[in-house]
Amino acid sequence: DRAAAVISGTIARGADEIVEFQAQEILQAYNLPVPRTGLARTSDDAVTFAEDIGYPVVLKIASPQISHKSDVGGVKVGLKDADAVRDAFMDITSRAQRMRPEAMITGCLVQEMAPKGAKEIIIGFKRDDQFGPLIMFGLGGIYVEVLKDIAFRLAPLSREDAHNIIREIRSYMLLKGVRGERSVDFAAIENILLIMSRLSLDFPEIYEAEFNPVLVNKDKAVVADVRISLH
Ligand code: ADP
Ligand code: MG
């Protein structure tokens, strides 16, 4: 199937990490909800994708050698029209090339913006030699490193495990909503946790996977960034 083909293709090339755009194919193969995304090689391409997706959009650097995109100024959100998209494309690609002269720049991903008020969470796993895949859940975005608010469970996860792991982090109350806010879609988060568990067991070749962020609001959760490494 598609996921297996992407993984064996990556191994055949001798690469350690699956390129983001191809990792998205794996997400689709597992029916994971992803924002609409196109891979633009030129700024004209980027505008065409943006008009198709609808404004506002997000632009992200696409390069097999750049996995932490924000570190090179490679992510711009809230682009409202064609001029903004063109400027962002030029800015992102030229800055990345300047900061990482050795990197091959494919272009930019053009992505649908998450709805306003969406919260950021992380869902991932890391393979332990002895115990197998350890599934991770936590609050995402800029708070991750500061709060270290993360819970773990060994795969396979049952639905009950998925339900419980969400409630183990201190920030659970934030997800439930404070001061009259609506609760996020917990069923959608559970669903992604269960899929992560399946992915970890289906492919022993994957050493580590991280969805960061998953953007969740009151009626859905989408995987906005994915990193999959094989070693
Ligand atoms: P990286 O982790 O490689 O720096 P991300 O794709 O995670 O790049 O983007 C960085 C940040 O930009 C995210 O943590 C999130 O805050 C924001 N972001 C990314 N994609 C979207 C999106 N589709 N809608 C809204 N915000 C986004
Ligand atoms: Mg990220």
Please give the average per-residue pLDDT across 100-122, as a whole number.
95
Question: Quick one: pLDDT at residue 140?
Answer: 85
Q: 142: left (phi > 0), else alpha (psi -120 to 50), else beta?
A: alpha
User: Do 180 and 196 meet the contact criterion of CB atoms below 8 Å apart?
Assistant: no
Domain count, the chain: 2
What is the rounded CA–CA span in Å between residue 58 and residue 79? 6
The whole-angstrom separation of Cα 65 and Cα 73 is 14
pLDDT 10s digits, 147-203 = 889 999 999 999 999 999 999 999 999 999 988 899 999 999 999 999 999 999 999
Query: Are 150 and 222 part of one and the same domain?
Result: yes
* Residue closest to 195 by CA, chosen among 35, 33, 36, 25: 33
Give the pLDDT confidence score for residue 124 in this predicted structure. 97
Residue 94 half-sphere exposure, CB side, CA atoms within 13 Å?
A: 7
CATH number for the domain including 205?
A: 3.30.470.20
Q: Are residues 107 and 132 in the same domain?
A: no
Q: What's residue 1's pLDDT?
A: 87
CA 195 to ligand 1 center in whole angstroms: 21
- pLDDT over 90 at 117, yes or no: no
Question: How far apart are alpha carbons 33 and 114 in whole angstroms?
Answer: 12
Which domain CATH number covers 37? 3.30.1490.20
Contact 82, 57 (CB under 8 A): no
Q: Which domain holds residue 31?
A: 2-112
Dmax (CA) for the chain in angstroms is 53
Asked if residue 193 and residue 99 are part of one domain, the reply reads: no
Q: Identify whether residues 6 and 86 lie together within a single domain.
A: yes
Q: What is the mean pLDDT of residues 1-7?
A: 94
Same domain, yes or no, for 106 and 132?
Answer: no
Predicted confidence band at 99 (pLDDT cuts at 50, 70, 90)?
very high
Statement to judge: residues 123 and 224 lie in one domain: yes
- What's the angle, vertex CA 47, arms to CA 121 and CA 19, rounded to 5? 45
**Is the CB of residue 34 below 6 angstroms from any atom belonging to ligand 1?**
no
Q: Whose CA is nearest to atom 12 of ligand 1?
A: 75
Residues 126 and 101 in one domain: no
Domain end, chosen from 58, 87, 112, is at 112
Q: How far apart are CA 190 and CA 123, in angstroms?
A: 10
- Summarised one tens digit per residue, pLDDT across range 130-145 is 999 999 999 987 677 7
Please check whether residues 100 and 172 belong to one and the same domain: no
* Domain limit, last residue, from 85, 112, 139: 112
Ion ligand 2 neighbours, Cβ < 5 Å: 212, 225
79 ligand 1 Cβ < 6 A: no
127 has pLDDT over 90:
yes
Single-letter amino acid code for the residue at 172: Y
> Are 153 and 63 found together in one domain?
no
pLDDT of residue 148: 85
The whole-number pLDDT of residue 115 equals 85
Instruction: Say if residue 97 is in the same domain as residue 123.
Output: no
- Residue 79 CB: number of other CB atoms within 10 A? 22
The token duo for 96 is 């990345």
Residues 193 and 97 in one domain: no
Say which ligand is closest to the CA of 20: 1
Residues 127 and 67 in one domain: no
Q: What percent of the chain has pLDDT over 70?
A: 100
Distance of alpha carbon 114 from alpha carbon 116, whole angstroms: 7
pLDDT tens across 25-70, in order? 999 999 999 999 999 999 999 999 999 999 999 999 999 999 999 9
| Domain end position, chosen among 112, 130, 155 | 112
Token representation of residue 60: 């992200």
